[in-house]
Amino acid sequence: MSSTGTLHAVGVGPGDPDLLTIRAVKALGACAVVFAAASTKNDHSLALAIASPHMRPDTPVVSLGFPMTRDQAVLEAAWEANARAVLDVLDQGRDAAFITLGDPMTYSTFLYLWRTIKAMRPDARVEVVPGVSSIQAAAAAAGVGLAESGENLAVLSGVDDPVRLRRALEACDSAVILKAYRSFPMLRELLGSMGLADKAVLVSRCGLPGEAIVRGLAEAGERPPYFSLILVKK
């Protein structure tokens, strides 16, 4: 049976509710159900806190658990359970929204959900509502122009292998290193060895209470907040 509802993947931006797009606000207002990702260890959703001011007070919210594990069997079981929950709503002819931090197509839990839904129901209707990413918001907050003219910009994962990170940094003019929290000591050492630590800017909790911008990694603590990234302008 084909699903009759449409799933809207809504990017809610990095933290400031004012950064939601008009299209995102319209999607949230029109959907019958809002799905929000949360860790299986708790039901808190930062994406929901950001989106709430733009939602109808009576909109049902369903929390979807995404376990923080590398166990592939556990992950796939969770993805399938979440996909079934979404499809159950779509099969009732109701539209739904899945809210995600930043942009749905960039380091988002939505990508796992989408892939699973498409495998289970190839004809499922899914529309993606782009969101402002932490990359854009952090650059704006720090006043750092990321790229111009013929310059190249690299978007890197801070949990990647240091050798791969070095190669990418050597090949680009500017870089944004996401997921900088867990591997910050390694990243600071790597950038220092390349003469880039003084040129780097650490942005934490952009658009959220406690936002911090540190210019030069020598001034940063050993363990920055979870929501942290590094801007590198060579």
Per-residue pLDDT reduced to its tens digit, 154-181? 999 999 999 999 999 999 999 999 999 9
Q: What is the pLDDT of residues 47-80, one digit of tens each?
A: 999 999 999 999 999 999 887 778 788 888 999 9
Q: Which among 162, 150, 138, 163 is positioned nearest to 214, based on CA atoms? A: 138
CATH 3.40.1010.10 spans which residues of the chain?
6-129
The DSSP bridge partners found for residue 9 are 98, 128
CATH 3.30.950.10 region(s) of the chain?
Answer: 134-233
Average pLDDT over residues 128-132: 98
Reported CATH class of domain 134-233? alpha beta
- CA quadruple 128, 134, 137, 140: dihedral sign: negative
Percentage of the chain surpassing pLDDT 90? 85
Average pLDDT, the chain: 93
The average pLDDT across 108-124 equals 95
Specify the pLDDT at position 206.
95
**What pLDDT was estimated at residue 42?**
60
Instruction: Report the pLDDT value the prediction gives residue 1, as an integer from 0 to 100.
Output: 46
- Class for domain 6-129, per CATH? alpha beta
Helix (H, G, I), strand (E, B) or coil at 24: helix
Segment 176-218, tens digit of pLDDT? 999 999 999 999 999 999 999 999 999 999 999 999 999 999 8
Determine how β-strand 200-204 pairs with β-strand 212-215: antiparallel
Write down the pLDDT at residue 68: 76
How much is the pLDDT for 40? Answer: 61
Residue from 26, 6, 45, 9 nearest 131 by CA: 9
| Assigned token pair, 134 | 């932490």
**What integer is the mean pLDDT of 213-230?**
93
Q: In this predicted structure, what is the pLDDT of residue 69?
A: 78
* 44 — pLDDT class (breaks 50, 70, 90): confident
